[in-house]
Amino acid sequence: MKENNGRVLEYGGLRISPPLLLAPMAGLTHSALRRLVQEQGGVGLLSTEMLAAKRLPHENPTLSPYLVRHPSEQPLSFQLLLTSPAEVAAAVASAEELGAAAIDLNLGCPAPDIRRQGGGSRLMEEPQMVRRLVQETRRRTALPLSAKIRLGEELNAERLRAFCLLLEDAGVDLLTVHARLRGEPYGRKPRWEWVGKVKHWLRIPVVANGGIFSAADAAACLAASGADGLMIGRAAAATPWLFRQLAEGWATDFAPGHDELSTAPSQEQKAAIYRRFCELLKESFTPERRLGRLKEFTHYYARNYQFGHHLAAAVQSSPDLDTARRRAEHFLATA
Ligand SMILES: Cc1cc2nc3c(=O)[nH]c(=O)nc-3n(C[C@H](O)[C@H](O)[C@H](O)COP(=O)(O)O)c2cc1C
C-alpha cells in the first residue's frame, strides 16, 4: 500500500509523510507539545518555536527551554528569526550542529517588538533584504529551506506574487502561507483561496496555514488552495490528536461520511492526554519553566470542555505547578 495513500511532500530532499506540519508557536511548540503531538500520531514535520538567530549560537542546548528536546522529536525544523545577513552563518551552523532536519525563516510574525527589530512580517516590506537573507542562508547550508509568510499588508496580488517569486528564486524550497494579512486577527476567516494563488504562481511546494481545527476545515482548505500540505498551529494544543484524524481523513480524500468524531478520544482519554502533557513538562523543563507553559497549553486545551473556562481559570490563578495539577485533576474528575 502506498504510504498515506500516496500523500507525501518532498522539499530539499526531505520526505514528509503525511504532509501535515506542526506550526512554530512561541511558548507552545516546545519539546513537551512536540512529543505529545507525535505520540498521538499523524504529524509529518515538527517545528521549534521561533529562535532568534542572534541568540541561537550562545544558547546552551541542554538548558535552553527553546532547545531542549528528546531524541524522538524527528524530523524537526528549526525556525529562525533573522534581522541581518551577518547573523546567518553562526545561526545556521548551530542549527546544523543541533540536528535540524530543515530550516524555516520567519517572515510573517506581526508582533510589534519583533517588527521593531526588523524581523518577522517587517521583512515582507523589505524584499531586497529578504533576498540577501535567503541567499546567504542558502549559501551556508544544504538543509531543506522553507519560509513562512502572511499575505502582506493589504491584498495586492502583484506585490505578493513578486515577493513569492523572489523567495523561490533566492533558494527557498517550500513556502508556508498563513492565509491572513499582517494586521488581521485570528478571529477572521482565513483567506485560503489566496494560498491557491500562491500555489499557482510557484513551482516549489506550498503549505497552507491558518484556521484549521477539524477535518472539515482541512478539506475546505485543500479544496480552496490546492496546497501540497497543511500546517496546524493552535489546534495542535487544543486537540493534539487532530493530525492523526487529518491523516486518516486525507487518506480517503475526506470522503463524505468520514466522521472525525469517530476517532476523537473519549473524555477519559482526554484527561489522560492532559496528564501526559504535565508529565512531559516535568521531563523537559526545570520547575520554574513548567507553570507558564502549562497555562499557555491549558488556554487551548480547555476548549475540549463545556465548562473549560473553569479549568483555564483554575490553572491561570495557580501559584505553582502542583496546585495547578491538583485543581486540574479536580476539574477533570467532574468534567
Ligand atoms: C501563541 C502563538 C505563538 C506563535 N508563534 C509563532 C512563531 O514563533 N513563529 C511563526 O512563524 N508563527 C507563530 N505563530 C503563528 C502560527 O505559526 C500560525 O501561523 C497561526 O497560529 C495560524 O495557524 P492556526 O490557525 O493553525 O493556529 C504563533 C501563533 C500563536 C497562537
DSSP string over 227-246:
-SEEEE-HHHHH-TTHHHHH
Query: E strands, the chain, where?
Result: 9-11, 14-16, 20-22, 46-52, 76-81, 102-106, 145-149, 174-178, 206-209, 229-232
Number of C-beta neighbours around residue 278 at 10 A: 19
Q: Is residue 260's pLDDT more than 60? A: no
| Residue 171 · residue 103 · CB < 8 Å | no
User: Residue 255 has what pLDDT?
Assistant: 77
| Residue 152 · residue 181 · CB < 8 Å | yes
| Residue 139 · residue 103 · CB < 8 Å | no
Give the residue whose CA is nearest to atom 7 of ligand 1. 25
Residue whose cell numbers read 483555564 = 312
Position 281 confidence tier, pLDDT thresholds 50, 70, 90: very high
| Residue 189 · residue 211 · CB < 8 Å | yes
Number of C-beta neighbours around residue 320 at 10 A: 12
Pairing of strands 14-16, 9-11: antiparallel
The pLDDT of 202-207, averaged and rounded, is: 98
- List pLDDT tens digits, range 100-109: 999 999 999 9
Question: What is residue 231's three-state secondary structure?
Answer: strand
d(CA 292, CA 296): 6
Active site residues per annotation = 109
Annotation-wise, does 271 bind a ligand?
no
27 lines ligand 1 (CB under 6 A): yes
User: Residue 177 has what pLDDT?
Assistant: 98
Q: At residue 247, what is the residue type? A: A
Name the architecture of domain 3-262. Alpha-Beta Barrel (3.20)
The pLDDT of 189-215, averaged and rounded, is: 98
Q: Is residue 166's pLDDT more than 50? A: yes
Position 1 confidence tier, pLDDT thresholds 50, 70, 90: very low
Strands laid side by side in the 20-22 sheet: 20-22, 229-232, 206-209, 174-178, 145-149, 102-106, 76-81, 46-52
Annotation-wise, does 24 bind a ligand?
yes
119 lines ligand 1 (CB under 6 A): no
Atom number, ligand 1, closest to the C-alpha of residue 28: 1
| Residue 68 · residue 31 · CB < 8 Å | yes
Give the residue whose CA is nearest to atom 21 of ligand 1. 233
d(CA 52, CA 38): 25
DSSP string, 261-327: GGGSPPHHHHHHHHHHHHHHHHHHS-HHHHHHHHHHHHHHHGGGSTTHHHHHHHHHT-SSHHHHHHH
User: Residue 257 has what pLDDT?
Assistant: 64
The CA angle 315-32-274, to the nearest 5 degrees, is: 45
User: Residue 263 has what pLDDT?
Assistant: 82
Distance from Cα 178 to the centre of ligand 1, integer Å: 9
Atom number, ligand 1, closest to the C-alpha of residue 106: 11
Residue whose cell numbers read 480547555 = 302
49 lines ligand 1 (CB under 6 A): yes
25 lines ligand 1 (CB under 6 A): yes
User: 319 is written with which cell numbers?
Assistant: 501559584
80: which strand partners?
51, 105
Distance from Cα 25 to the centre of ligand 1, integer Å: 5
- Euclidean distance between the first and the last CA atom of the chain, given in angstroms as a whole number: 41
148 lines ligand 1 (CB under 6 A): yes
Q: Is residue 262's pLDDT more than 80? A: no
For 203, counting Cβ atoms within 10 Å of its Cβ (0-12 exposed, 13-18 middle, 19+ buried), the class is exposed
Number of C-beta neighbours around residue 268 at 10 A: 9
User: Residue 5 has what pLDDT?
Assistant: 54
Distance from Cα 24 to the centre of ligand 1, integer Å: 6
